[in-house]
Amino acid sequence: MGLHLIKMAAGISSLQQLEERQAFARVSGASINRLKIIEEKDLIHVTRFFPKRADEILNDTLTPPGSLYWVFQKRIQARQKIVEFREMPTEGGPTKCGIVLEGPLVPVEMMPRKAFQGWRYLTEDDAPKDLDHRRGKKEEIPPQMHADLIELCLL
């Protein structure tokens, strides 16, 4: 069974805003809210602690590597593939964990999630499904209304 991480995207209000922030970080090499670009190809989200189950996330032979699921507006809304975990040196302090992300943000079925600090583990069984298979179809319900109906447990 695959294992993933789930993380709050602080200050993000939409998938488009998260995509824009990551695109800006890739182009400028800037550090934005713990999002760093070390090399041109690497998008790294820096957190305080290393996951103790990192090997399960990266090296499960039965499933592909895990993903980082992003939570914003009290819902899981997107994911990105995790490539590796790196030690990130800090000035005068302990090293931190750099979560190296790859590929585009993949929209997922919105799932309500209460606020939390840091990151949490998410099993494959509990992870929301990708919405890629629906991209070709025109959705009848606007995204915000869809999210509200999910929050009210009507969908």
Q: Where are the domains of the chain?
A: 3-151
pLDDT at position 101 is: 92
C-alpha 22/C-alpha 114 separation (Å) is 24
Three-class DSSP labels, the chain: CCEEEEEECCCCCCHHHHHHHHHHHHHHCCCECCEECCCCCCEEEEECCCCCCHHHHHHCCCCCCCEEEEEECCEEEEEEEEEEEEEECCCCCCCEEEEEEEEEEEEEEEEECCCCCCEEEEECCCCCCECHHHCCCCCCCCHHHHHHHHHCCCC
- pTM for this model (two decimals): 0.78
| pLDDT tens, per residue, the chain with 155 residues | 689 999 999 889 888 999 888 887 776 655 555 555 555 567 888 898 999 999 989 976 666 789 999 999 899 999 999 999 999 888 888 889 999 998 889 999 989 999 898 899 999 999 999 986 555 455 567 777 777 777 787 76
Give me the pLDDT at residue 24, please: 79
For residue 28, the model assigns a pLDDT of 64
d(CA 114, CA 38) in angstroms, rounded, equals 31
Inter-CA distances, 145 with 42, 139, 141, 148, Å:
35, 11, 6, 5
> What's the rounded Cα separation, in Å, for the pair 152 and 12?
22
Query: What per-residue confidence (pLDDT) applies to 140?
Result: 65
pLDDT value of residue 90: 84
